[in-house]
Amino acid sequence: MIQKPKGTYDVFGDYGKKVLYLEMLFQSLIEKYNYEFLRTPIFEATELFHRGVGETTDIVSKETYDFLDRGERKMTLRPEGTAGIVRSFIENKMYGNPSMPVKTWYYGPMFRYERPQAGRYREFYQLGVEVFGTDDPLMDAEVISIAVNFYKLLGLKDVKVRINSLGDSESRSNYREALLAYFKPHLDKLCSDCNERYGKNPLRILDCKVDHDLDIMKNAPKMSDYLSNESINHFEQVKDYLDANGISYIVDDTLVRGLDYYTNTVFEVEADIPGFGANSVLCAGGRYNHLVENIGGPSTPGVGFALGMERLINVLEASNISLNIENGIDLYVIPMNEIVKSYAFDVTNKLRMSGFKVELDYMNRNLKSNFKQADRLSTKFVAIIGEDEMANDYITIKNNITKEEDKIDTAYLVNYLDEKIGQEDYHEECTCGDDCNCDGSHNHDCGCNHH
């Protein structure tokens, strides 16, 4: 039997419904911020990721899926979303957009060859945002607020931000020299990766997963001691905006992020997640003011973040947060014999095009089995169509909860279902509690995680 590749998984059933729900919820939120969807190819020129993500990163040096296409061109399955978005921004000349900033969001699969483990796969899905054209600290705060508000909408507890500044070019240059001087006498105590990073990008040594507990790492110079006045001012303004928005944060001098392109603000969003211990990071991002220029575009500031769908679902399950996913259907249609199938099919399609969620019996079940199927599908109403119904142009409708039956003229069926299903939805009591702002029904989205 042919099986799926190691580090991948199939999406279906309840898990698939969760994925679609979370994607739609994120889309609904991000559109309120006036962000536009942008999709890039799953594979790009290998050079893009070497220049964009960075030669010294673990992603590029160890984890990318690289291949030669039939034209002997070097291609790579995208390991992250930002570099491709930047390439699109440049190639499509979005920098000429008079309505700056350009605010985008994306969702799709990424690929990294790493050891599969719980919540980590070789093919994984990311939601993210990228903004170009402004260096205003207010945009840093807005991007952070999107992630925080998304997690709060889902009902996660104690959502807070861990934040740091990596400074501008001047700050990073001064800090680089300080790190080179500091680590030089300790290279024999560091792993081989850190020794390689020493010559290429010593800042990446601080992100080492092997040596991070060593005293020489804990006592390394702090970026905050080398920030320029401009970088300090930028960072202070970001924090002021977060304060004004009521967003909790912790300044963490050790936070550097694992990608080479970050400048100034970097952040991680975390929450109180049962069973996750210290590993509570939900998403991460930051500012990258030189990435567009490095990839071949004009000097353009940028900022963004990304979150993993798989980790998000694991976090929601660990936190016992249920999503408001509608599993039932509005109507289940039962054709009583072959003669009425075409008529039943026509009725079904017209109802679907009128906005109802309708299923039809395709298995030629008997009436008893069909009612069991209707229960399995959690249907609200059952439509029974026999030869008499077809001849006289009416439908026998049975309420699958009360078991009451009505004979409804086919021309009035849409209005009937609109009225009945609307009443059912309105009278379903809200159980969100005192903090809910809705009108007491599930017709109104109050913004809490129960709706």
Over residues 203-222, the pLDDT tens digits come to 778 777 787 778 888 888 88
pLDDT tens-digit readout, 268-310: 999 988 877 666 889 999 999 999 999 999 999 999 999 999 9
pLDDT at position 340 is: 97
Taking each helix axis from N to C end, the angle separating 13-32 and 137-153, rounded to the nearest 10 degrees, works out to 140
234-264 pLDDT, tens digit each: 999 999 999 999 999 999 988 876 566 788 9
The residue whose two tokens read 């010559």 is 199
Locate the DSSP E strands across 219-339. Answer: 249-251, 263-270, 281-287, 302-308, 329-335
Distance CA 85, CA 39 (A): 8
- The domains of the chain, with CATH numbers, are 13-168+228-318 (3.30.930.10), 329-426 (3.40.50.800)
Pair type for strands 302-308 and 281-287: antiparallel
Residue 430's pLDDT is: 44
pLDDT at 161 over 70: yes
- What's the confidence (pLDDT) of residue 217? 84
What pLDDT does 57 receive?
Answer: 65
Backbone angles phi, psi at 60, to 5 degrees: -75, -40
pLDDT at 52: 72
pLDDT at position 379 over 60: yes
Q: What is the pLDDT of residue 62?
A: 77
CA dist., res. 69 & res. 77, Å (int): 12
3-state secondary structure of 24: helix
Q: What is the mean pLDDT of residues 87-101?
A: 94
Q: What's the confidence (pLDDT) of residue 258?
A: 58
Q: Which residue has the higher pLDDT, 429 or 150?
A: 150
pLDDT digits (tens, 9 = 90+) for 333-355: 999 999 999 999 999 999 999 99
Residues 6+ apart with CB under 8 A from 10: 4
DSSP 3-state of 367: helix
* 438 pLDDT more than 80: no
Task: State yes or no: cis peptide before 335, omega within 30 of 0.
Answer: no
Name which of 48-62, 357-371, 417-431 the model is least confident about.
Answer: 417-431
pLDDT at 230 over 90: yes
How far is residue 370 CA from its own chain's centroid? 39
Dihedral (CA of 315, 319, 324, 329) sign: positive
Residue 69: pLDDT over 70: yes
**What one-character DSSP code corresponds to residue 419?**
H
Beta-carbon contacts of 190 under 8 Å, excluding residues fewer than 6 positions away, are 183, 198, 205, 208, 211, 214, 216
Q: Residue 407 and residue 398: Cα distance in Å, rounded?
A: 9
CA distance 239 to 261: 22
In this prediction, residue 426 has a pLDDT band, given cuts at 50, 70 and 90, of very low
